[in-house]
Structure 1
Amino acid sequence: MRRDLANRINLKPAIQPVVVTDNTPQASAIIDTAGYESLTFAIETGTLADADATFAVTMEHGDDAALADTAAPAATDLIGTTALASFTFAADGACRKIGYIGTKRYVRMTITPSNNTGNAPLAAIAILGDAKSRPTANPPA
């Protein structure tokens, strides 16, 4: 294998590892896509303790750095769907992903639990790809 991905991407913490014990939405950091042509959120779960919990993923985008102009992206702005990125209590140790190809500069993802009364460890990372300036910094900046 001779293809390089490492110098074409940058990683940003989206949702730092957390154990969710209720239905509090977990909003990611607002990701600035300036200097990149693509964005993918990668979600990882741990052992999800509640036997009927569900976790819905939503996305927001805008051109204001604080997302004061926030709106839900159109389906055509996403690679995959929020439904495919969402998960249930059965997704122990699972990964999900959702890509963004819209034209807005700032993007945020939120994971909202329902019926969750147990421990639900999860984390998410933003993978900014196709950097306009290469190689990208290592460690990521």
Structure 2
Amino acid sequence: MRDLLNNIHPVTVIPPGTAPTDNTPVVSAIVDRLGFGSVTFVILAGALADADATFTVRMDHGDAADLSDAEAVPDALLVGTEALAGFTHADDGKARKLGYVGGKRYQRLTVTPAGNASAANLGAVAILGHPVNAPTANPPA
């Protein structure tokens, strides 16, 4: 069957409209993968006003709920690359994705602007997949 809806659980990790006006990193909420076998982050770029801005992406993982043990995810545990998940001022209205196949329970993203002096609208959603129990709740709880 081609049902994706009942086999995923989306979680907002960077609220839509988050708009850093400088080069301060935007750190997502921590994702708890308990009950799910996979996670993919979808990063949404809105209006990116500064013509020189670039945005790099990093994923961390760990076993502590507060990610006090956070470490950068090794490339071998990523689906896609952090470089491909990054974007520039020319990527208004585009989406990027980055997946995780490691065994740690908790993950988070950091989006770091460079050359950004204007409001750079962005947001991100974590899509939890391969649930232990399906169907997943709709709307997501």
Range class of TM-score, shorter chain: over 0.9
Q: Quick one: distance in 2 between partners of 1:76 and 1:133?
A: 28
Structure 1 residue 123 displacement after superposition: 0.3
Q: Partner residue of 1:14?
A: 13
The TM-score normalised by the length of structure 1 is: 0.97
Q: Partner residue of 2:3?
A: 4
Q: Partner residue of 2:82?
A: 82
Q: Quick one: distance in 2 between partners of 1:122 and 1:78?
A: 22
The one-letter amino acid paired with 1:60 is D
The TM-score normalised by the length of structure 2 is: 0.97
Structure 1: 4+ residue segments shifted above 6 A: none
Q: Quick one: distance in 2 between partners of 1:124 and 1:52?
A: 22
Q: Give the fraction of aligned pairs with identical amino acids, expressed as a percent.
A: 55
- Residue deviations 1:56-110 (CA, integer Å, cap 9, x gap): 1001000000011111111111000000000111101110000011100000001
Q: Partner residue of 1:69?
A: 69
Q: Partner residue of 1:109?
A: 109
Unmatched segments (≥5 aa) in structure 2 = none
Q: Quick one: distance in 1 between partners of 2:46 and 2:71?
A: 30
Q: Quick one: distance in 2 between partners of 1:69 and 1:20?
A: 26
Q: Secondary structure at the match of 1:52?
A: coil
Q: Quick one: distance in 2 between partners of 1:9 and 1:26?
A: 25
Q: Quick one: distance in 2 between partners of 1:36 and 1:109?
A: 18
The one-letter amino acid paired with 2:110 is T
Give the number of aligned pairs: 140
Structure 1 residue 47 displacement after superposition: 1.5
The one-letter amino acid paired with 1:70 is A
The one-letter amino acid paired with 1:6 is L
The one-letter amino acid paired with 1:12 is V
Q: Quick one: distance in 1 between partners of 2:71 and 2:41?
A: 18
